[in-house]
Copies of this chain bind each other. A is one copy, B any other.
């Protein structure tokens, strides 16, 4: 099998183990930095790997429109092109088609929209999503799905699940056909929708888990449609109800989430994989995430602060001895280096969070690990 999960320890619903991929073993729980356009913004592949990341996410929508999936394929695929030697996952492009593109319309056959770059008319069907992701060549593809906004009415949520299931089958079938003519072995994950409706979520998860094509099922199951506008406590509650009930033999991937707190809750609920732009996007907006809460680096309180962002952190910004005062100066000057140092810092924090979680689960002390983080984050937020 292209991608498979081996669980080595469990503590409550939290679990740790190894995801085997064609590009190496990935210890889970894992956080996947987002390399939107073929690059984790500002960072070299070595720097990304040094944060502990072993999977990077590429955005199909962006790469499809520019430079084009064929172009990426001609250069040997996204791994080779972007010099990332470890595992890689691509989303289906549907989420960006809906959120970024102009005049996006959905019908039974997929999305029709105009490119946000040049207005060109594009069509993203389940089959096209599979074809494009095959060309990009990540280790893991995602099915095309329908992701309704938070707070959608029950009929909207239900219809999204129905269409997502139909597209799931079409994606699996398209992969089967593509496999016949390709040497590339790619895993594919299904995407569970259902908003904050626990029963609908569980029903949809079971439905996707049962699908197959030519004897091959989804290698993993993702939880989509979270952190899309619903209240965060509601997300945490639903995750606690559903995550551990999603097929335990397959990796569970919570898409586009979230804060350190979200990760700790979701790991406790049984989630194995995460991606989110938050650590890198917030860094570019001048925000460092620490165990003691957020540091908005431009604040005057850091003007003469000789301390590193986090004295205990091993990232190049903190271990390198760059003071908050210096980082603030660079940020106020618009110097690129600070965006890179903050990005490294934030990704290191995420890397350390999941590495610590893996150790804690293995040692049967995940609840106290989680609580220690919550206590420090709470104290930091109220400081």
Binding site for B on A (CB under 8 A): 37-39, 41-45, 62, 66-67, 71, 74-75, 81-83, 303-304, 306, 316, 320-323, 325-326, 329-330, 332-333, 335-337, 339-340
Contact = CB atoms under 8 A, between A and B. Distances in A.
**Which are the 10 A-B pairs with shortest beta-carbon distances?**
A42-B336, A37-B333, A39-B337, A67-B329, A39-B335, A81-B326, A83-B321, A39-B330, A41-B336, A42-B337
B66 A329 contact: yes
A206 to B, nearest CB: 40
Nearest to A37: B333
Contacts of A339: 336
B75 A325 contact: yes
Contacts of A329: 37-38, 66-67
B332 A44 contact: no
Contacts of A333: 37-38, 62, 66
Given A37-B335, A320-B83, A333-B66, A326 B75 contact: yes
A170 to B, nearest CB: 30
26 contacts: A37-B329, A37-B335, A38-B330, A38-B335, A39-B335, A41-B336, A41-B337, A42-B335, A42-B336, A44-B340, A45-B320, A66-B329, A66-B332, A66-B333, A67-B303, A67-B325, A71-B303, A74-B304, A75-B306, A75-B326, A81-B326, A82-B326, A83-B321, A83-B322, A336-B340, A340-B340
Total identical chains: 2
Contacts of A83: 320-322
B42 A323 contact: no
A83 B332 CA distance: 18
Nearest to A333: B37
A321 B44 CA distance: 12
A45 B321 CA distance: 11
A376 to B, nearest CB: 28
A71 B330 contact: no
A260 to B, nearest CB: 24
Contacts of A330: 37-39
A75 to B, nearest CB: 6
A41 B325 CA distance: 18
Which has the most chain B C-beta neighbours within 10 Å: A44, A71, A325? Answer: A44
Contacts of A62: 333
Nearest to A38: B329
A329 B41 CA distance: 13
A330 B316 CA distance: 24
A23 to B, nearest CB: 16
Nearest to A339: B336
Contacts of A66: 329, 332-333
Given A81-B325, A81-B326, A336-B340, 14 more contacts: A37-B330, A37-B335, A38-B329, A42-B335, A42-B336, A42-B340, A43-B337, A44-B316, A44-B337, A66-B332, A71-B303, A74-B304, A81-B323, A336-B336
B325 A71 contact: yes
Nearest to A343: B336
Contacts of A322: 83
A281 to B, nearest CB: 13
A82 B327 CA distance: 9
Contacts of A75: 304, 306, 323, 325-326
A128 to B, nearest CB: 21
A71 B326 CA distance: 10
